[in-house]
Structure formats: C-alpha cells, structure tokens
Amino acid sequence: MANHSKPAHQAEYERKQHKEEMKQQVISFVLMILFTLIAFAMVMFEVNSYFIIPTLLILAVVQVAFQLYYFMHMKNKGHDMPALMLYGGAAIALLTIVTFTSIIWW
C-alpha cells in the first residue's frame, strides 16, 4: 500500500499558509464591520451631506475590494480569467456611468 501523505515540511508550509490566509480574512472582516459602523454612525448623527456622500462611496468601494480580494479569492492563482472579467465589467460600468453623467450634466 502506497503512502500518500505529504512530506512534513510541505504540510507545515501549507499549515502556515492557511493560518496566514485566515488571519488576513479575519482582519479584513473586522475592518469591513468597522467601516459599516462608521458609515452607520455618520448617517445616524446626520453628518453634513457634502462630507458623508463621498465618504460613504469610498467606504463602499473599499469594502467591495476587500470582498473580491479576500473572500472571493481573486488574489489566488488560477483566478485570472474570472478576475479579468469582473474587473473589466466594473470598468465598463464605471465608464458608462461617467459617460451618461457627463451627457446629462453638460
């Protein structure tokens, strides 16, 4: 019967990688909760709309980036094509919004 277990150094390396990835996901999750609480507090305390709207948009973009990068594993190898399609679609959506906003306001 063949032994299919991994060498000890490879198992240790994978364990360290998994531990590091879990640490990054927990930190990202905590930051997203913090950003949500900040956004909620700003709305609850009726912060000036000239400040709150751009801040909420920035917090939303950062949270989407965290979601894609850490929780959707877009940083991992082998996710090149899904990442390209996702980021390409986001770029086209942004260009469309900027184009129609420019047409309407000018």
Query: What per-residue confidence (pLDDT) applies to 4?
Result: 62
Query: What per-residue confidence (pLDDT) applies to 28?
Result: 85
- pTM for the model: 0.63
Query: What per-residue confidence (pLDDT) applies to 65?
Result: 82
Neighbouring CB atoms inside 10 A of 12's CB total 11
Query: What per-residue confidence (pLDDT) applies to 72?
Result: 74
What does the pLDDT look like over 12-42, one tens digit per residue? 888 888 888 888 888 888 988 999 999 999 9
Which residues of the chain carry a pLDDT beneath 50? none
Number of H helices, E strands in the chain: 3, 0
Q: Are 70 and 25 in contact (CB under 8 A)?
A: yes
